[in-house]
Chain A
Amino acid sequence: DAKTTQPNSMESNEEEPVHLPCNHSTISGTDYIHWYRQLPSQGPEYVIHGLTSNVNNRMASLAIAEDRKSSTLILHRATLRDAAVYYCILRDSWGGGADGLTFGKGTHLIIQP
């Protein structure tokens, strides 16, 4: 599986936007970019995913570089509830989804009040 690289931790202030970067320089043409997050003492939860175009949903936005070698998860207005570990994960579309997710160490996002 193609590998992702994320900063170990980031800190932001409440009610400010947060940009979480992810590098995936060996991404293949069939890899989707998925983001999950894990709040303290909970299981991971899906945030967003995309292939080539930028994506928006109620939780966040995903900006994908034109060459697809990097992406950025954007939380438009962070709250204390957004403090979590954020994982950037590549999924091969040919896998059919049956082979599970490969989690890295993720980025520990700290939100200051």
Chain B
Amino acid sequence: DAGITQSPRYKITETGRQVTLMCHQTWSHSYMFWYRQDLGHGLRLIYYSAAADITDKGEVPDGYVVSRSKTENFPLTLESATRSQTSVYFCASSSSGTYNEQFFGPGTRLTVL
């Protein structure tokens, strides 16, 4: 399907486990982003990528790792999940340029026990 998809949509894991959240877009957008949304904090940027093999830290990168070997995929890995990483994670993409809108995925609700 065309658009931006995230998987899984829901995930429950335990403290200390590694978890990877997947993001896939079909528009060949240059830019991709990961945000987390917590009650009381709104959406905060975790990592972003301007192109394949180019990534950079956002506001809250600690505890997360990203990679972007292909333009269309931008996985987010929690190397050792903690309870504070329980959140809703949104992936987004946009074509280049400040004016261009970001398209958001449906989100992944992650619970770390």
Contacts and interface: CB of A to CB of B under 8 A. Distances in A.
Interface of A: 32, 34, 36, 41-46, 49, 91-106
Interface residues of B, dominant DSSP: strand
A100 B35 contact: yes
A103 B42 contact: yes
Interface in B81-113: 90, 92, 94, 96-107
B106 to A, nearest CB: 6
A96 B97 contact: yes
B45 interface: yes
Given A43-B105, A97-B99, A98-B96, 4 more contacts: A42-B106, A43-B90, A43-B92, A43-B107
B96 A46 contact: no
Contact of B99 (A49, A94, A99, A105): A49
Contact of B33 (A32, A42, A100, A104): A100
Given A43-B90, A46-B102, A103-B42, A97 B35 contact: no
Interface of B: 31, 33, 35, 42-45, 48, 50, 56, 58, 90, 92, 94, 96-107
B48 A100 contact: yes
A44 B45 contact: no
A100 B99 contact: no
Contact of B98 (A41, A45, A96, A106): A96
A56 to B, nearest CB: 16
19 contacts: A32-B99, A34-B101, A42-B107, A43-B92, A43-B107, A44-B102, A45-B103, A46-B103, A49-B99, A95-B98, A97-B94, A97-B96, A97-B97, A97-B99, A97-B100, A98-B31, A99-B45, A99-B48, A106-B42
Contact of A97 (B43, B58, B98): B98
